[in-house]
Structure 1
Amino acid sequence: MEKNIENKTCRHCQNIFDITDLDLEFYDKISPVFNSIKYPIPSPTLCPECRQIRRMSFRNERSIYKRKCDKTWKDTISIYNPDSEYSVYEIGEWYSDKWSPLGYWMDFDFSKSFFEQFNSLMKIVPRMSLSVLENENSPFVNQTWHVKNSYLAFNCWFWENIFYSGISYNSNNIIDCYSVNWLENCFFCVDCQKSFLLFNSQNCSNCSDSKFLLNCVNCKNCFGCINLYNKEFYIFNKQYSKEQYFEKIKTLNKDTIEKSLQELFLKNPYKNLYLTNCENVIWDYIVDSKNCNHCFDVFSSSDSKYLFNIDSSVNNSMDINYGADWELMYDATSIAGYNLLFCHLVLGSNIFYSNLCINTSNLFWCVGLHNNESYCILNKQYTKE
């Protein structure tokens, strides 16, 4: 059982928060070792909520602007407004070999603080206009990987034909959906999984050919139902024959639907938490996970704490927002990989205090590297030794 070791006062909001024995074990586990010397990661001085606010302050997900690319001077769509102090390249130019982020290297100046120097590096290294990777025909999206033919979609991975949606993974042909996985041909769904032709529904999984469902599992041809499992041909939680079902559907109008839904949803109980195939987890919307504490919207993760919006496979990590497939992460957002500490928008391994580094490894205080660079400090190349 987790044991409280220390009560600390947040230096920002003054709230009291706990440091436990498992927290201290984690900080020791992730403390970096250089030349056989371990550099201990101290316990945080901010409470979990303030730490999350600080992480999210680096992330602009949904505000996009029209501006000029600072490389070609062509119009582009960007998360940086035209008056931003950053240099911004459109996606194709940023990933191209026409420039090298190593050309912006700095030597560490011991007369200045780290954050002062890192801020200077962030301002001079060109930034990609949108946070995207390997998209196709999707100029008005952000925080997306491997998407195609989509518009105004945010924080979505591995999908095609997605419109006006957010936090969607492995889905196709959806509109106005939020926090969904493995959907196809769906509209206006929230917190739904593995469904097909599902409309205006919430907290459902493995459903198809249905509308206006709440908290239903493995249902087909259902309309306006709540808390149903393994059912077919139900309307407002009442069973019909196949022929009766389709005849009844034809008679429904907007007023009838709204009144019946309101009555049905008010008289039926709601789940207090949405946990599926979980063991020893705390908080809400967690699936296929174990030993996760203070986590929300998490899939297939284990032995972690303070996670939010995790697509899959996060293990032995703490204070993470957005991402998938990682282990040994701490105080980071929009990342994937192994052993990433204090990072934002990073894909790689063994990276510390870095920003916007894609397919890289063994970095310290770097910005904008994306060509398999390794063993760099402040964007300056070093040998492994």
Structure 2
Amino acid sequence: MWIILQNMSKTPNYDKKIKTILDQLIPGERTCALTSETWNMTDEEIGWYKRFNVPPSKLHPRARLRLLLGFASGLVLWWKPHFKTGKPILSFVHPDSPFQVLPDKEWMSEDFLRQESSLDPIKPFFEQMLGLVHGVPVSACRDDGSNKDCIGVDYISSEDSYMVFSLCGAKRCFYPALALFSEDCVDVTNTKNSQRCYQTNRVNNMFRCAFSFECRDCINSSFLFDCRNCENCFGATNARNKKYVFFNQQLTREEYEKKISEIDLSCQSVLLKHQKKFQDLMKTAVWPENFNIGSSESSGEYLEESTRCKECYWHGKSTDMFHCWISEEHRDSAFVAWVGWGSDAYYTCDVVGGSQLRFCFRCWRCLNLEYCLDCYDCENCFACVGLRKKRFCIFNVQYSEEEYWQRVDELKCVMLERGEYGEYFSAAFSENGLEYSMGDAFFGYSEAELTRYQAPRFDPKRGAVIGPSGAIADLPSIDVKNIPDRLSEIDEKTFVGKPILDPILNRPFSVVSGEMAFYKNQKMAFPREHFLRRLKALIRTSNSPEPEVKPCANCQKETVSYRNPSFGERRVFCKDCYLRFLEENN
């Protein structure tokens, strides 16, 4: 049975108005106010609106989630002026953005409560809210204080790592993103419990593996797809418990070691040759209709040990979720992205350990918040920014409990009448900007889409971080054509710690000394691409949240699979045919 959230009984006037709207809802086709796409609003979807006591959004469910993921910080750092001193500091906020920043420790020591409210219920809400968020600084890198000697954004319990993005437990890593408890790795995304890996995505418990994705429990291998418990393999797809496989051919140990001894991946031309060969091999690989594991009564992609998660993407141990992207141990939520270890969230992004959150962003360990951003350990707040351990606040002003509920009731009524309540912040509220968000890393936004979302644009060259300090920014950039083919031929004084121009992005990057030591130790080629392009390419080897209906490539039964941005032409098997294929070929 759907249960109305407890706080709604304290807003009687709003409750009467929303009841009339919800009672009149009927299932049927709806048209997105943003994209003009149509979708079928079901009884189940209407049930979620009634559960959270909110009006239905005017946007297609997919448009809502793409907007939400545009708020999650992405894969870039900038030099941004300090809010008070003007001195350049590292931040995920672009230097031309109207959002202001403070170093993380300074931000945590500030109190952003205001003495008087300037919120006028008669005026448009979102215009006033945008003024508030531009007046309250952002924590520059979202370092929670648990890290040691790291540079990055939104990271926890990490050490001695460089350019880390949205992860936990990294040690001695360079350019990891969305990784957990991995060590001595370079260019890894969605990588868990792994060591000495390079260019991997969606892997778990790997050791000394490279150019691999959708794999688990493999050792000393390269160019793998959908492999489990493999060792000493080079070019393998859909393999289980294998050794000495070379481009899907079983060899003896002696034959395998001879072939490997003849391959030098520290040579760029050799690497490109084998990358092309692996791409050709992938044309013969079999993809399951989805990569779900141990999930029941659910639909979506990358669902692990989850129950009753409908139209969801990348969930771990989550329950009763509806149209949600990326959650860990979360439950009872709808239209949320980037959430974990909490419950009862609606149309919200980046929340951890909270409950009863609606239309919020980056609110951690909070209870019963609406339209709040960057709040921590707060309870019963409405339209607040940057608060910590506060209760009964509106627009960053403290109220008594009685006055708080009275004002919230009034605000929600006028917002509902204007069609504001029930919609999320526009892209102008995204602190990193949609074009530099995790949404961009996962699937990218077209120019038309950025315009529809009202997303500001910022020059990617302004304030770009090229190295650990800003000192090399004024040096002339090296043309990648001038980089020697073999790693052993590269003069570190000439190429390490110097700006190198990525010809595709037209943006400079650098290779730092610790990174160079990794390439020498692992015998990998010197990079020719900006790390942003490398990480995006890795992330996009994952299947997307976008479903597609197509026949099983083996039995022709209709299946629902999920589009892959990097592999358009795939052999997708239904679950039964996929399992039979694995059994017959392993």
How would you bin the TM-score normalised by the shorter chain? 0.7 to 0.9
- Name the counterpart of 1:27: 49
Deviates more, 1:254-263 or 1:300-309: 254-263
- Name the counterpart of 1:363: 381
SS in 1 for 2:107: helix
Identity among equivalent pairs (%): 25
Which of 332, 345, 350 lines up with 1:329 in the alignment?
345
Letter in 2 for 1:64: L
CA deviations 1:34-63 (Å, max 9, x no partner) are xxxxxx211221101221243244444234
- Name the counterpart of 1:65: 78
- Distance in 1 (CA, whole Å) between partners of 2:118 and 2:279 is 65
- Name the counterpart of 1:344: 361
SS in 2 for 1:153: strand
SS in 2 for 1:142: strand
Q: Say if 1:115 and 1:236 are closer, same or farther in 2 by CA, change over 3 A.
A: same
Which of 169, 173, 189 lines up with 2:200 in the alignment?
189
Structure of greater relative contact order (alpha carbons < 8 Å, 6+ residues apart): 2
| Kept in 1: contact 2:315–2:326 (CA 8 A) | yes
CA deviations 1:192-223 (Å, max 9, x no partner) are 12222221101101222222111001222322
| Kept in 1: contact 2:65–2:324 (CA 8 A) | no
- Distance in 2 (CA, whole Å) between partners of 1:70 and 1:374 is 26
Report how many residues are paired: 369
Which of 357, 361, 371 lines up with 1:353 in the alignment?
371
- Name the counterpart of 2:528: none
- Name the counterpart of 1:37: none
| Kept in 2: contact 1:135–1:148 (CA 8 A) | no
- Distance in 1 (CA, whole Å) between partners of 2:373 and 2:115 is 14
Q: Does 1:6 pair with 2:28?
A: yes
Please report how far the alpha carbon of residue 241 of structure 1 lies from its aligned counterpart in structure 2 after TM superposition. 4.8
CA deviations 1:79-100 (Å, max 9, x no partner) are 233333333211121012xx31
Structure 2: 5+ residue stretches without partners:
1-25, 265-269, 403-586
Q: Where do residues 88-107 of structure 1 align in structure 2 (5 Å cutoff)?
A: 88-96=101-109, 99-103=110-114, 106=117
Q: Does 1:43 pair with 2:56?
A: yes
- Name the counterpart of 2:232: 221
Specify which structure has the higher proportion of strand. 1
Please report how far the alpha carbon of residue 305 of structure 1 lies from its aligned counterpart in structure 2 after TM superposition. 2.1
| Kept in 1: contact 2:150–2:158 (CA 8 A) | no
- Distance in 1 (CA, whole Å) between partners of 2:322 and 2:374 is 24
- Distance in 2 (CA, whole Å) between partners of 1:173 and 1:373 is 40
- Name the counterpart of 1:249: 260
Please report how far the alpha carbon of residue 288 of structure 1 lies from its aligned counterpart in structure 2 after TM superposition. 2.1
Which of 321, 326, 332 lines up with 1:316 in the alignment?
332
SS in 1 for 2:216: coil
Which of 94, 118, 131 lines up with 1:120 in the alignment?
131
Q: Does 1:206 pair with 2:211?
A: no
Deviates more, 1:122-131 or 1:248-257: 248-257
Q: Say if 1:374 and 1:274 are closer, same or farther in 2 by CA, change over 3 A.
A: same
Specify which structure has the higher proportion of helix. 2
SS in 1 for 2:364: strand
Q: Where do residues 142-157 of structure 1 align in structure 2 (5 Å cutoff)?
A: 142-157=153-168
Please report how far the alpha carbon of residue 20 of structure 1 lies from its aligned counterpart in structure 2 after TM superposition. 1.8
Letter in 2 for 1:279: S
Please report how far the alpha carbon of residue 260 of structure 1 lies from its aligned counterpart in structure 2 after TM superposition. 5.6
Letter in 1 for 2:89: T
CA deviations 1:334-381 (Å, max 9, x no partner) are 2112221111111022221100112322221110013x2222221122
SS in 1 for 2:45: helix
- Distance in 2 (CA, whole Å) between partners of 1:277 and 1:215 is 17
Please report how far the alpha carbon of residue 28 of structure 1 lies from its aligned counterpart in structure 2 after TM superposition. 2.3
Please report how far the alpha carbon of residue 292 of structure 1 lies from its aligned counterpart in structure 2 after TM superposition. 1.9
SS in 1 for 2:377: strand
| Kept in 2: contact 1:134–1:147 (CA 8 A) | no
Deviates more, 1:268-277 or 1:240-249: 240-249
Deviates more, 1:87-96 or 1:286-295: 286-295
Deviates more, 1:201-210 or 1:275-284: 275-284
Q: Say if 1:82 and 1:342 are closer, same or farther in 2 by CA, change over 3 A.
A: same
Q: Say if 1:8 and 1:209 are closer, same or farther in 2 by CA, change over 3 A.
A: same
Q: Say if 1:70 and 1:10 are closer, same or farther in 2 by CA, change over 3 A.
A: same
| Kept in 2: contact 1:107–1:380 (CA 8 A) | no
- Distance in 1 (CA, whole Å) between partners of 2:162 and 2:325 is 24
Q: Say if 1:127 and 1:269 are closer, same or farther in 2 by CA, change over 3 A.
A: closer
Letter in 2 for 1:87: Q
Q: Say if 1:64 and 1:105 are closer, same or farther in 2 by CA, change over 3 A.
A: farther
Normalised to the residue count of structure 1, the TM-score between the two structures is: 0.86
Q: Does 1:267 pair with 2:277?
A: no
Q: Say if 1:157 and 1:259 are closer, same or farther in 2 by CA, change over 3 A.
A: closer
| Kept in 2: contact 1:105–1:378 (CA 8 A) | no
Q: Say if 1:84 and 1:221 are closer, same or farther in 2 by CA, change over 3 A.
A: same
- Name the counterpart of 1:35: none
SS in 1 for 2:127: helix
Q: Say if 1:114 and 1:227 are closer, same or farther in 2 by CA, change over 3 A.
A: same
| Kept in 1: contact 2:333–2:345 (CA 8 A) | yes
- Name the counterpart of 1:166: 177
Structure 1: 5+ residue stretches without partners:
31-39
Deviates more, 1:343-352 or 1:175-184: 175-184
